[in-house]
Amino acid sequence: MAPTTSSDLDTLIRDLPKTDLHVHLDGSLRLSTLLELADQQRIELPATDEEGMRREVFKPTYANLAEYLEGFRYTVAVLQTAEALERVAYALCEDSWREGVCYLEIRFAPQLHVHPALPLPEVVRAVARGLRRAEDEFAKDERVVKGEFPPFRGALILCAMRMFRREFSAGYGWYFDSCGYSPDEEVYARASLDLARAAAHFKDVEGLPVTGIDLAGQEKGYPADAHEEAFQIAHEAFLGKTVHAGEDYGPESIFQAIGDLHADRIGHGTWLLDASRVTDERIADPQAYVDRLAQYVADHRITLEVCLTSNQQTVPALAGDLSGHPFGEMVRRRLSTTLCTDNRLVSNTTVSREVRLAAETFGIDRKNLHDILTYGFKRSFWPGPYLEKREYVRQVLDVMSRVMAAHEGTGS
């Protein structure tokens, strides 16, 4: 049974424990913080107020993914100190907690913030401090103390980049300088390799809450196989693997992420079910290929991190009608899906908004809503032992059951 009114739905979503497994730190600043940091650091922005930045940079729709990513040049620019990184990480946790997100996986590309005065370890430690401060403070929340809501927990996912340019950061510029005349693909691979080794070190030696790695950036023209060695290292270090795939390219990209990079989850996966997006001429029957791939994803419970608003902003065909998004078919096929924000600032969204969009657009009922939210917890890259995760998920499910039962009596 679905909620009967918008108010009922909003209240139900507010009260349910939620996750965000796909949220980029540098795309999720508070806009007021971006403006403040830019002013302090004397970084010129296209506008000097929030309205102007929404008009000039963080728009409702974009022509394509490349234009969507342009706004990151400003957010990354203000995140070049440990203090700024810690502050923004804590604020992201706080914003998430306020809307009932009790488990959060913050992903970021540390090499975007590296320069001579800020080495990579300090970048990661700063974000970890922001996360841990949030965990400590939110544990004092009255709902948590009384056992009425799960405590806030989080983890970090380090992002490798499919491609980068020298001007992305001093850190990335160093790779071009140090790799001499190597082809660009080898430069990208070298950076990913270093990042995977660092992630394993932070997890196993320093005990930081680094639990996974990601491959982000432009898919088309930059295949995942260049990063195969890095993801093998992450695999051997028992890190979680998630890969942006099927967002800007077709089903073959998703297959490559699973086959070559051992992906446990897929970021976006928008075109998983679209046979018209198959471009490999060796695939004689695109529809059969897509069906087999979807079956494999379902059988192995490879979770799709779905970001509806972000996709609607970057895919012109979805701009006016979200019902064309494949999420509804993913749910019908009982695929493991979780709803995520991608970038809270760039997409001007929250987890609650994403859940409401899904419910209203695709007619998600209470059972499907319960399953989708549960997938987020069960398929998380939990920063601790399995038995600890199991106990946490059990607590989440108990709270969900109580909330669902309470709202049953109010018509929602």
Structure confidence at residue 409 (pLDDT): 58
Indicate if 247 belongs to the active site.
Answer: yes
| Number of Cβ within a 10 Å radius of residue 195 | 25
Tokens 């922001």 sit on residue: 130
Average pLDDT over residues 134-159: 97
CATH number for the domain formed by residue range(s) 6-408: 3.20.20.140
Q: Exposed/middle/buried for 235, CB within 10 Å: 0-12, 13-18, 19+?
A: middle
Q: For residue range 198-239, what is the model confidence (pLDDT) as tens digits?
A: 999 999 999 999 999 999 998 889 999 999 999 999 999 999
2: pLDDT strictly greater than 80: no
Tokens 């795939």 sit on residue: 245
Non-local CB neighbours of 37 within 8 Å, separated by 6+ positions: 43, 78, 79, 84
* pLDDT confidence band for 69 (50 / 70 / 90): confident
Extract the tokens encoding 357.
Answer: 């969009």
Q: How far is CA 211 from CA 58, 59, 106, 208, 314, in A?
A: 30, 32, 10, 9, 29
Predicted structure pTM score = 0.95
Cα–Cα dist 273/218, whole Å = 20
410: pLDDT strictly greater than 80: no
Average pLDDT over residues 250-271: 96
Among 3-17, 28-42, 340-354, which is the least confidently predicted range?
Answer: 3-17
- The one-letter amino acid code at 308 reads L
412: pLDDT strictly greater than 70: no
| Number of Cβ within a 10 Å radius of residue 216 | 20
Cα–Cα dist 371/66, whole Å = 33
Average pLDDT over residues 266-291: 96
Non-local CB neighbours of 270 within 8 Å, separated by 6+ positions: 246, 247, 311, 315, 325, 326
Structure confidence at residue 322 (pLDDT): 95
Among 72-76, 101-105, 188-192, 248-252, which is the least confidently predicted range?
Answer: 248-252
Non-local CB neighbours of 202 within 8 Å, separated by 6+ positions: 121, 124, 208, 210
Q: How far is CA 364 from CA 102, 197, 360, 371, 412, in A?
A: 22, 41, 7, 10, 13
What is the 8-class DSSP label of residue 58?
A: S
1: pLDDT strictly greater than 50: no
Strand partners for 275: none
Average pLDDT over residues 295-304: 97
Chain-centroid distance, C-alpha 61: 19
Q: Which of 105, 135, 247, 252 is catalytic?
A: 247
* pLDDT confidence band for 60 (50 / 70 / 90): confident
Extract the tokens encoding 274.
Answer: 């679209």
Q: Exposed/middle/buried for 346, CB within 10 Å: 0-12, 13-18, 19+?
A: buried
Average pLDDT over residues 48-68: 88
Average pLDDT over residues 164-180: 94
